[in-house]
């Protein structure tokens, strides 16, 4: 489902396999467990976390076939798990960089925005909030996260209310993505470079989490009910 490796002081969290990396309880729990281990251990001062994926997709959102097979009383589990995962990212005592190595859609975009920095593959892949196109509404914390991470009205409107498919370059021009790069490996390498640049400034990682909670206070308020909880 996912692997964690270290390159120097930088952790590389990879969504493994050639599939769509859709969010079901297994994948989300694996990711939470991985982040939980990072939250509870100590790190070198210049640590950083990069999240990336194998294959054509970064993540295509919630696993709808899982939802179809689960009883209605269980449906909110994946939403709550993603909420918890986002709170884990906000609490990490190191800068976080998302390397969008393939298509990011729907809830996959929410995971991207949970990161401090975003590098996106330019030669392939879209950033696409598909919900309007497929007829799905947002739970509150999604709207709040997008409001705090994409404050520009026209960009947020195009992403959420027009279901625009953004290329990496468009996403960068519009302030969603920090850098673009070529190919999966190139995107990860650029993410490593960016991590090295930003991690130098962070001498005490725990202060980073506190600052995120202040900066994204509404998001924190909506996701923090799940912080530290296990599912």
Partner 1 sequence: MCTLEKRGRVLILTLTGSGEHRLGPDLISSLRSALATARSDPSAAALVTAGEGRFFSNGLDLAWAKNSSEGLSTLVRLVKPLIADLISLPMPTVAAVTGHAAAAGMMIAVAHDYVYMRGDRGVLYMSELDIGLPFPDYFMDLMQAKITDPRTLRDVTLRAKKITGTEAKERGIVDKVCQSASEVVAEAVKMAEELAGRNWDKGVYASIRMSVYPKLCKSLEIPEESDEAVTKHFASRL
For residues 68 and 230, which CB has a smaller minimum distance to partner 1 in the complex?
68
Residues 6+ apart with CB under 8 A from 201: none
Q: In what order do the strands lie in the sheet with 127-128?
A: 57-59, 103-105, 127-128, 165-166
Q: Which residue has the tokens 């467990």?
A: 33
For residues 2 and 139, which CB has a smaller minimum distance to partner 1 in the complex?
139
For residues 64 and 182, which CB has a smaller minimum distance to partner 1 in the complex?
64
- What is the Cα–Cα distance from 126 to 138, expressed in whole angstroms? 20
DSSP class per residue in 153-175:
HHHHIIIIIS--EE-HHHHHHTT
Residues binding partner 1 (CB under 8 A): 64, 67-68, 72, 75-76, 79, 131-140, 142-144, 146-147, 151-154, 156-157, 160-163
DSSP 192: H
For residues 55 and 143, which CB has a smaller minimum distance to partner 1 in the complex?
143
């Amino acid at each position: 489902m996912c692997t964690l490796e270290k390159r120097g002081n930088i952790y590389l969290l990879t969504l493994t396999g050639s599939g769509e990396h859709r969010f079901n309880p297994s994948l989300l729990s694996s990711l939470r467990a991985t982040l939980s281990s990072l939250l509870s251990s100590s790190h070198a001062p210049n640590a950083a976390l990069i999240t990336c994926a194998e294959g054509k997709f970064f993540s295509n959102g919630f696993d709808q076939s899982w939802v179809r097979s689960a009883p209605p009383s269980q449906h909110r589990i994946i939403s709550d798990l993603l909420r918890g995962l986002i709170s884990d990212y906000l609490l990490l005592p190191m800068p976080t960089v998302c390397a969008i190595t393939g298509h990011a859609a729907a809830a996959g975009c929410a995971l991207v925005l949970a990161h401090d920095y975003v590098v996106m593959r330019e030669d392939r892949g879209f950033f696409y909030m598909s919900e309007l196109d497929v007829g799905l509404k947002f739970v509150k914390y999604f709207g709040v996260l997008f409001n705090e991470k994409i404050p520009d009205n026209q960009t947020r409107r195009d992403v959420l209310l027009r279901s625009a498919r953004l290329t990496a370059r468009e996403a960068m021009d519009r302030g969603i993505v920090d850098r673009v790069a070529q190919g999966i490996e190139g995107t990860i390498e650029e993410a490593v470079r960016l991590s090295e640049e930003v991690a130098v400034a962070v001498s005490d990682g725990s202060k980073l989490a506190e600052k995120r909670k202040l900066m994204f206070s509404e998001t924190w308020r909506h996701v923090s009910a799940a912080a530290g909880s296990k599912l």
